[in-house]
A and B are shown apart, each in its own frame.
Chain A
């Protein structure tokens, strides 16, 4: 089974829930941190990393000797990654390239060959019974979805796999949610939390995936998130009240399940409820 933990709004507690859930389960569990722009799960799990893999994407390179300046590559490229300037020079902008391969296919002279752009790295490791994988987007790289997909390629069907998703509702989040068995949305009962939750629920609906909520800091704001959950028929699987002790534990990179004993049982109940709904 594979689940995504997402949120819409940032800073609601996705990583806290992902890491503590993985830690409570303890064995036959995988944690894939797909928030590749700002991966944080490793700061809590503290895995021993065994391998680091560089991830690249193909981009074009022009053989100027073969190029006859026909401009077909410029015509097919939708992303302004290859441009014929004033009919005299073809230039490539590798950072704009989406790696569709169109220019290479359309070139009648075979003047375009493949080179690569680095997207970032993937690191694999483990701690006790938890298999851990995360991606780290290269600073300056704009496109995270291909790296997210690469992290997801390490998912194993015989494990319980948890994806820590990025915030937002656009392409990186979709890349981290599509095709999973269940989405757990972590929110907070504030106007910002509710607004972004509504968007996240919209995204989950488009993908047609069952979902449930965790309301973090459940006593800080108002009741509108609960009213929304009721109206939408979304199960609230866990409420975590605000507690300065939790905030301090998390700020140090420590695990709630190891520092506040009753939470191990709370996260295991969450695990059981997720399995019930997803099956």
Chain B
């Protein structure tokens, strides 16, 4: 089984629009949305939710006022200054380390498990989708990413499907690390801007760090042809496979507004033609 993760470093380079286009082209696959902070793939795939589960991870300290003697030890111990003078725990500041719980002489601090989001298994017109929603301002996004990837894999095994297409998050931190570890390959979608290039280089370094084979493609390449050339040269120098480039095309936005993939909106668009080539080149290049 193969698992391709689409990442970018910089946000807004077109990961989700490209993923939706791949969803249209690919056969026998499970879709997975690992951008749990801002999960947008469902806006195009329009899923029928079949299973819904709570995502529980991490704990929060809660002071039981009946037992608390206000000795102040918890305030002294807390590295996050999450406990106020009036012995209230600020749940946004609380890291869930449990140090106050452990050392409270009165055993006055409860430590309930957090419910910090939901995850779903759905049917879509492109096949099954595993996705999630992390609660606003919640932590543990890396753990939720790991969970949706694991469930997507389980589902693919059950259904005898041999490909998982995963929409990854922006950045290079915790959720991205959780997205790419152990993947068959990542596809970095970048754009020809100084920011796009800078962020692409950092995320390529991250993929190297975790030894994940890396493909590259340049979206909106005609915005700045010089930078597109520089990015493609960078890919060549680093031994990365550049799968191709996609022109700036407002059909992407128009398709998104209609809740469609670019192929459903306009099957002959220039961007659509470029994506077909990229998909073909991916299938040909991907080591068996």
Please give the residue numbers on chain A whose beta carbons come within 8 Å of chain B beta carbons, in ascending order.
8-12, 15, 37-38, 40, 43-44, 76, 78-79, 98-102, 105-106, 137, 139-144, 166-172, 174, 178, 190-192, 195-196, 199, 202-203, 206-207, 220-222, 244, 247-248, 250-253
Contact = CB atoms under 8 A, between A and B. Distances in A.
Nearest to B209: A140
Given A139-B202, A244-B223, A251-B227, 13 more contacts: A11-B170, A12-B12, A38-B171, A78-B97, A169-B37, A169-B38, A190-B253, A191-B43, A191-B257, A192-B256, A206-B136, A247-B248, A250-B195
Contacts, number: 182
Contacts of A100: 79, 95, 97-99
Interface in B244-288: 248, 250, 253, 256-257, 259
Majority secondary structure of chain A interface residues (helix, strand, loop or mixed): loop
B183 to A, nearest CB: 16
Contacts of B95: 98, 100
16 contacts: A12-B11, A37-B173, A38-B10, A38-B202, A40-B194, A43-B194, A78-B98, A102-B97, A139-B202, A140-B210, A143-B173, A167-B171, A169-B134, A172-B171, A192-B43, A250-B195
A10 B209 CA distance: 24
A101 B100 CA distance: 11
A152 to B, nearest CB: 14
Given A139-B205, A142-B173, A251 B137 contact: no
A221 B10 contact: no
B59 A78 contact: yes
Contacts of B134: 169-170
Contacts of B43: 191-192, 195
A11 B8 CA distance: 11
Nearest to B138: A170
A149 B234 CA distance: 33
B78 to A, nearest CB: 9
A168 B38 contact: yes
Interface size bucket, B side? 35 or more
Contacts of A190: 253, 256-257
B171 A43 contact: no
Given A9-B11, A78-B58, A102 B173 contact: no
B264 to A, nearest CB: 15
B97 A167 contact: no
